[in-house]
Amino acid sequence: PRGVRYVQQHNQGSACARNVGVSLANGKYIAFLDADDFWLPNKINLQLQLFRSSPSLALVRGDQIFWDQDRSFENVREFSKQKWDSDSRKQVVFENIVGNPSMVMVKRSALQMAGMFDPKIRFGDDWDMWIRISEIGDIGFVQEPIAVYRWHKNSISQHYQKECLASYRK
């Protein structure tokens, strides 16, 4: 497709992959799409509308459809019930109220101010970034599903979750 550039590199983790993508992108806004997930057709337009209506926003996310393929289970996770205020800025430190990168669109300027994703963080590099971005600007929430988060036995999220839990047992 026009405007899409395919880049291949040795697997160095999600933070490195996102950093390469951000460094090669040239738009005002950056959106992420992890390999197992997919966007709903209205995602980009809904997020851009929210950015245009609220200049203080640094990041916009929306609700997601969580799809557990192994159990044939699907439900909507409503992040949009979250209202952004000074308490939310504190809450994002304790709970990832932003969620998966596939649901996110962020201003390039906010990413530049926050710095790059930290490749030393194997699990939660995205959450670390959302905390840093929350210190720069506000976070907006689209009040409907904008992407599908797929969960299955071979997903990277499951692998990292097991790796993270195993590290606590050592």
Per-residue pLDDT tens digits for 47-104: 999 999 999 999 999 988 876 665 665 556 555 555 656 667 778 888 888 888 999 9
- Three-state SS for 144? strand
User: Using CA atoms, how far apart are residues 31 and 122, in angstroms rounded to an integer?
Assistant: 21
User: Using CA atoms, how far apart are residues 119 and 145, in angstroms rounded to an integer?
Assistant: 29
Q: Sign of the CA dihedral 105, 110, 116, 117? A: negative
**Chain-centroid distance, C-alpha 165:** 22
Mean pLDDT of the 4-19 span? 86
Q: What is the pLDDT of residues 24-56, one digit of tens each?
A: 998 999 999 988 899 999 999 999 999 999 999
Q: Sign of the CA dihedral 28, 109, 138, 20? A: positive
Give the per-residue pLDDT at 162.
52
Q: What is the pLDDT of residues 137-151, one digit of tens each?
A: 999 989 889 998 876
> Across 4-8, 112-116, 121-125, which has the greatest mean pLDDT?
112-116
- Three-state SS for 58? strand
Give the per-residue pLDDT at 167.
47
Helix, strand, coil shares of the chain as percentages rounded to 5? Answer: 40, 25, 40
Q: Which residue has the tokens 């990041």?
A: 59
Mean pLDDT of the 2-31 span? 88
Tell me the whole-structure pTM to 2 decimals.
Answer: 0.80
Give the per-residue pLDDT at 170.
46
Mean pLDDT of the 143-170 span? 62
User: Using CA atoms, how far apart are residues 32 and 102, in angstroms rounded to an integer?
Assistant: 5
Give the per-residue pLDDT at 5.
78
pLDDT greater at residue 167 or residue 59: 59
Give the per-residue pLDDT at 21.
92
Give the per-residue pLDDT at 23.
93
